Amino acid sequence: MKKLLSDPTNQRTASFLLLTLLLILLFSVLNPRFMTVNNMTTILRNMTPVGFAALGLTFVIVVRKFDLSFEGSISFGAMFVAFLIMSGFNPWVAVPLGMLGGLVVGMMNGIAISYLRLPDIVTTIAVGAVVGGASYWFSNGKDIFRNFFSSGILTLNNGKLFGVSYATIFLIFAYVIAFVFLHKTRWGRSFYATGEYPVAAKYSGINVRLYVAVAFVISGVLMVCASTVLISAGGKGEVGAGEGYMLATYAAVLLGAAIFSRPGILPTSAGVLLIAIVSNGLTLAGVDNLSHNAVIAGILIFGVIAFDSKIRGSLSNRIRNGLGLRRPATNSKIQEAS
């Protein structure tokens, strides 16, 4: 057991599990309804849209960029797919077409940022505004819900398999594929190399610019998946569909990355789970919706500070110095000697 715990990855997984356990205990005490099967499925259902969004954002974070366009692209995706369904398209056609639209949005981001060298934050804000504005095109801003019932899109959310909605099954599916892709294939390794040491990646023959652009494309496509789940759950396409997703999505990805020391599919799923549990627990504990964001923001910033390696390093150095212990020699000075 001790040997198992000495591996840092296992330590982090252990701390995550411990944290989750504590949260579950806390919320169960605050409201016994928390630990029911019904509530568990509610948690799963509510976290599915964020789950997709966070999955997309993960790729962007892995290549060390930021994407602030997804509130706009989720709205656009929602209206686009809803429009296609209203126009009579079968959901099996409408959704892939919508994802194609997401791909185009992702390409806009990717080309501007990776090839035209525009700054990621501002560019994605701009693209988000453009695309969010475009979401008004489809119905002049009005909600779309015609044909929803007859097209069968609602079964995505309402239909269940083993008590879990189809949407969530798709989500799990997507996470599994993404996990294999990012953590078990050569392309995944290239993504990480691109984000961590782009120059070394370039010298290793990796087309860094392409990988950055593709990260944004993947994000764009997955955002539309989130849109689809949203309109299925809500029964309509509305222009403000993406509102409020910024914090939850970043919190999930970054909290996960902080706990596990680097971004990835497993860290993101941990983050999504944590945020979903907290959100649900807060609601059941009587905390109103408005304060949720404040709590989540607090958790994120606390998590980032607590797990930041630099801060931990300097803190542990100060403790060591205070206790009179010697600091281990760093390798960098040896390099500098020549």
Partner 1 sequence: MSADISMENRGYWFKGLLERYGLLAVLVALIVFFGSNEPTFFAPINITSILRAASVTFIMVCGLTWIVATGKIDVSFYTMAALANVVSATLVQLGWDWVTAYLVVLVIGAVVGIVNGYLINYLGLSDLVVTICSASFLGSLALMLADGSSFGIERPGWLSEFMHTTFGEAFVSGDGAGATAIGAVPLVLLVAAIVLFVSWYLQERLTFGHYIYAQEGNYEAVHEAGVNVRRLNLLLFVYSALMSATAGVLIAAEFKTGQPTMGASYFVDGLTAVFLGSLVLRVGQANVLGTMVGILILIVVSKGAAALGWLSNEGIGEMIKGGILLLGTGLAVFAQSRQRDASQEV
Partner 2 sequence: MNDTVLRISGLSKSFGSVRALDNVDFELRRGEVHALLGMNGAGKSTLTKILSGIYTPDAGEIKIDGKKTSITNPSSAMRAGIAAVQQHPELVPAMTCYENVLLGQESAKPGLFRRVDRSKMLATARATAERYEMALDLESRVSDLSPVEKELLSILHALIRDNTKVLLLDEPTSILTEAERDMLFALMRTLCDQGISIIYITHHLEEVFEITDRFTVFRNGQRVATMDTLEAKAEGVNLAELMLGRPLKGLYPAKAAIPEIDRKPVIKLEKLSADQMFSDVTLEARRGEVLGIFGLVGSGIHELGDAIYGIRKHDGQGRIWFKSKETNIRSAGEALKKGIFLLPGDRRTQGLVMERSSVFNTTLANLKRSSNRLGLDRVAANRRDADAILTKLDLNPHDIDISASSFSGGNQQKVVMAKALYSDSELYIFVEPTVGVDVGARSKIYSEIRKLADEKAVVLISSDCDEVFGLSDRAVSFYKRQQVGDPEAKITRDQLLHRGLMGEANQ
Decide: is 134 part of the binding site for partner 1 (CB under 8 A). yes
Question: What DSSP designation does 146 have?
Answer: T
Phi, psi of 143 (to 5 degrees): -60, 145
Q: Which is nearer to partner 2, 36 or 185 (CB)?
A: 185
126 binds partner 1 (CB under 8 A): yes
**If we measure between CA atoms, which residue out of 207, 230, 66 comes closest to residue 135?**
230
258 in Cβ contact with 308 (< 8 Å):
yes
Instruction: Give residue 184's identity as a one-letter amino acid code.
Output: K
Which residue is associated with the tokens 């023959």? 205
Round to whole Å and give the CA distance between 300 and 163: 31
> How far is Cα 200 from Cα 202, in angstroms, rounded to an integer?
5
Contacting range for partner 1; rule: CB under 8 A; set: 92-100, 120-128, 187-195, 207-215: 120-128
Q: Which is nearer to partner 2, 34 or 175 (CB)?
A: 175
Cβ atoms 315, 271 nearer than 8 A? no
Which CB sits closer to partner 1, 236 or 292? 292
Smallest separation, CB 335 to partner 1 (Å): 18
Please list, residue by residue across 72-93, b when 16 or more beta carbons sit within 10 angstroms of its beta carbon and e when fewer do: bbbbbbbbbbbbbbbeebebee
The verdict on 288 binding partner 1 (CB under 8 A) reads yes
Residue closer to partner 1, measured from CB, 35 or 294: 294
Q: In whole angstroms, how close is the CB of 205 to partner 2 at the nearest point?
A: 4
Binding flag, residue 164, partner 1 (CB under 8 A): no
Query: 237 is written with which tokens?
Result: 């396409």
Question: What distance in Å separates the CA atoms of residue 263 and residue 60, rounded to the nearest whole number?
Answer: 10
Which residues are CB-neighbours of 179 under 8 A, at least 6 positions away?
265, 266
Where in 290-309 is the site for partner 1 (CB under 8 A)? 290-294, 296-298, 300-301, 304-305, 308
Nearer to partner 1, 7 or 243 (CB): 243
Pick out residues in 59-98 that bind partner 1 (CB under 8 A).
66, 68
Q: How far apart are the first and last CA of the chain?
A: 44
**Residues 240-279 within binding reach of partner 1 (CB under 8 A):** 246-247, 250, 254
Phi–psi pair at 209, nearest 5 degrees: -65, -35
Residue 273 site contact among partner 2, partner 1, none (CB < 5 to 8 Å, cut-off depends on kind): none
Q: Which does 184 bind (CB under 5 to 8 A by kind): partner 1, partner 2, none?
A: partner 2
Contacts with partner 2 by CB under 8 A lie at 180, 184-187, 189-190, 192-193, 196-197, 199-207, 262, 329, 331, 333-338
* Encoded amino acid at 262, one letter: R
Which residue number, 12 or 65, has a Cβ lying nearer to partner 1?
65
Nearest to 212 by CA among 118, 308, 122, 75: 118
Regarding 12 and contact with partner 1 (CB under 8 A), the answer is: no
If one asks whether residue 336 binds partner 1 (CB under 8 A), the answer comes out as: no
CB nearer to partner 1: pick between 59 and 175: 59
Q: Cβ closer to partner 2: 3 or 186?
A: 186
Chain residues in the site for partner 1 (CB under 8 A): 66, 68, 112, 116-119, 121-123, 125-137, 140-141, 239, 246-247, 250, 254, 288, 290-294, 296-298, 300-301, 304-305, 308, 310-311
